[in-house]
Amino acid sequence: MKNIAKILSLSFIVLAVTVLFSCKKDNNNDGTHKVKFKAETSSDAKLSSVVYTSETGDVTTNSSVNSSSFASAELTIPSSIPIISFGANGTGASAGSTLKVQIWVDGVMVKENISTGTTLSATTSYTF
């Protein structure tokens, strides 16, 4: 249980630091991007929590997912947010259990990361 807590803590710290540095306000690019965050586990695993960049650049945390998949609403990310991040944690029943996280931008999958094992933790980020 201590290993799970350490991995989850480390994942959230990395994600929080990434989001913190992504809140750059001096970017004058016009336009926005439609972003969707997705997570999916193998049939023998469950998600426990997800963390992602919100439309304001803040961190949104959902710590009560308790399912095999998650999809955020489509978010409109302004150009003032140059980096977005997504992370998910879960548990698997076997060493072959998987957790896949994806970032979709303007209808195209731009980033994906996969975690394997009984303690599942995957994060990814995308720079516009």
CB atoms within 10 A of CB 42: 17
Among 91, 98, 125, residue whose Cα is nearest residue 5? 91
Among 86, 71, 81, 60, residue whose Cα is nearest residue 127? 81
Domain boundaries, the chain: 2-127
Map tokens 């965050």 to a residue: 37
CB 111 within 8 A of CB 102: yes
Please report the beta strands in 6-44, taking only residues with DSSP state E, as ranges in sequence order. 32-41
- Distance CA(95)–CA(85), nearest Å, equals 26
Q: What is the pTM of this model?
A: 0.78
Q: Higher-confidence residue: 30 or 38?
A: 38
| 54 — pLDDT class (breaks 50, 70, 90) | very high
pLDDT reading at 5 higher than 70: no
Among 126, 97, 91, 93, residue whose Cα is nearest residue 114? 97
Chain center to CA of 66 = 16
